[in-house]
Amino acid sequence: MNVPSFEFLGFATVVAALINISNAAPWRRSILLLANIGFVLTFTHSPLQLVPFGGLLVLGYAGMKLVEVHKNKAVFIVLLAALIFLFCLLKQYTFVPHALFLQIVYFTVGMSYVFFRVLHLVIDAYQDALPDRVGLLSYANYTLNFTSLVSGPIQLYPDYLRTESVQPAALDQAAVGRALERIVAGFFKVSVLSPLLFYAQTVVVHALTPHLSPAQRVVDGALVLSIFPVYVYINFSGYMDFVIGTARFLRLELPENFNRPFIATSFIEFWGRWHMTLSNWLKTYVYSPLLLSLMRRFPSRSAEPYLGVFVYFVTFFLIGLWHGRTSMFVVFGVLLGLGVSVNKLHQILLTQLLGAARYRALRANSFYAAASRGLTFWWFAFAMLWFWSSWVQLAEFARILGAPAVLLATGLVLSSAALLLTGLKYLEESWLTLTGAGSPLASRYVRAAWCTTLAVVVVSVAVILNAPSAHIVYKAF
């Protein structure tokens, strides 16, 4: 079953109706479990296809229980290694010997997101950091929660537990209104805006030929670079709007995954606004433990900032690797790692050079902030080339455009992004002021009319296109 789709909405409506019959935790958990199993089964032709995925879940649960009782470091490390290896094997990473791959068709939807949840439970169980013993039912519902199975967000267990059983989120009139708005906005982004952007991207890529004029090469090169990141943002954040809104009807609260990423004025800040649940997970379970461990091993105050630079690189390199199995994603990881580590190094050096107060004043300078915003977008867009294209395509782009057009296109993206994204930031802030409490634009009638319009557009597009629901970029992970 695709998410988002009208089919999914119908399914979620039935589950919401059943789950809200009673507030009793056992009832809610049981209905959710049935819904989760039912949802997973829609992706398979035979229950046998679920066995490998089930193996990962069973190993995670048994491992969590084992380290909860026996705080043995060696057992913990072996378990972590086994989970990571099993994940890489099932996801068929290219560095795993091909002969080890399972020669059967099996279920992998949302496996990466489930893997993060399982790993977090095992680590927290070992560190005695879980709020309570994790029951089998809660474990199954947490890892397989159908509202966030396909592409996240990656919720941590204590947050999930709070709304699943301890304190379900209230579902009053205001909450229903907000949830409906999120669903409609998400559907609109995924079904209308993102296909348009994808179409634009496809047209521009296909239009790249050696016969273009030099000026057209620069413009098309800039468009090839810039459209895809915007498309991914609209597509993925729309999906998030949709599932966050849907989950609210089950009285579950999912964490936000995006916070206006393109207004960020540094690559590090960008990752605090983009796919935030993944960034936070890696910050908690990779960046922090690794940096603390290095600080303990090399206790030098002057070396600490450079250890930070190194660990930033490692963490974001891993983010890149997580995204895919091929050499393209190794380069993607290197570029992400370079982005954050050079950004951190720049911060350290400028602070040393100017002093904290003058560096703070520089960051507050509008021109510097706009230029930083443009640079951040450009680097992200550049790194994303290795996310969506192939080596053959990249070579073709380079051959058609030529070095001068590539350089000029880079300049065009940098300057346009600085200008447009700064304009967008001020527009957004003005819009927030205009739609604040007490404003006529914030009235429920205006919002209902706006949502209805978006819903009509979504339904119309669905009827006209008469095609399967929109593709979610992150479903592949």
Site of interaction with another protein (CB under 8 A): 120, 123-124, 127-129, 156, 158, 268, 280, 283-285, 287-289, 291-292, 295-296, 304-305, 308, 312, 344, 351, 356, 360
Q: Least distance in Å: CB of 251 to another protein?
A: 23
Closest distance to another protein from the beta carbon of 351 (Å):
8
CA distance 264 to 266: 6
* Complex with another protein: residue 28 or 117, whichever CB lies closer: 117
270: three-class secondary structure by DSSP: helix
User: Residue 418 to residues 197, 200, 338, 346, 456: CA-CA distances in angstroms?
Assistant: 20, 22, 21, 19, 35
CB 83 within 8 A of CB 119: yes
Nearer to another protein, 167 or 443 (CB): 167
Tell me whether residue 124 or residue 241 sits nearer to another protein (CB atom).
124
Cβ contact 9:190 at 8 Å: no
Q: How far is the CB of 127 from another protein (least distance, A)?
A: 3
Yes or no: say if 188 and 458 are a contact pair by the CB < 8 Å rule: yes
For 361, the token pair is 């004043």
Q: How far is the CB of 401 from another protein (least distance, A)?
A: 37
Q: Which two tokens stand for residue 453?
A: 């319009």
Q: How many CB atoms lie within 10 A of CB 43?
A: 16
Three-class SS state of 324: coil
The string over 118-132, giving b where at least 16 C-beta atoms fall within 10 Å of a residue's C-beta and e elsewhere, is bbbbbbbbbeeebee
CB–CB of 28/165 below 8 Å? Answer: yes
Q: Give the residue with the Cβ less far from another protein, 257 or 280.
A: 280
* Nearest distance from C-beta of residue 221 to another protein, angstroms: 35
Give the nearest distance from C-beta 307 to another protein in angstroms: 9
Closest CB 134 distance from another protein, rounded Å: 14
Residue closer to another protein, measured from CB, 129 or 203: 129
For the CB of residue 350, give the shortest distance to another protein in the complex, in Å.
Answer: 12
What is the C-alpha to C-alpha distance for residues 189 and 199, in angstroms, rounded to an integer? 14
314: Cα separation from own chain's centroid: 19
Please tell me the distance from the alpha carbon of residue 281 to that of residue 436, in angstroms, as a whole number: 32
Nearest approach in angstroms of CB 121 to another protein is: 10
Cis bond before residue 4 (omega within 30° of 0): yes
Q: 248 or 344: whose CB is closer to another protein? A: 344
- On the 0-12 / 13-18 / 19+ scale of CB atoms within 10 A, 153 is buried
Toward another protein, which CB reaches closer, 19 or 122?
A: 122
Smaller CB distance to another protein: residue 42 or 127?
127
| CA 356 vs CA 12, 348, 351, 365: distances in Å | 51, 10, 5, 14
Contacts of 145 (CB under 8 A, 6+ apart): 32, 36, 155, 160, 247, 252
Are the C-beta atoms of 234 and 130 separated by less than 8 Å?
Answer: no
Q: Name the residue among 427, 374, 395 with its Cα closest to residue 226.
A: 374
Q: Which is nearer to another protein, 61 or 271 (CB)?
A: 271
Please say which residue, 351 or 415, places its beta carbon nearer to another protein.
351
Choice between 7 and 304, CB closer to another protein:
304
Provide, rounded to whole angstroms, the least separation between the CB of residue 19 and another protein. 28
Q: Are 357 and 332 in contact (CB under 8 A)?
A: no
Task: Tell me how far, at minimum, the Cβ of 418 lies from another protein, in Å.
Answer: 23
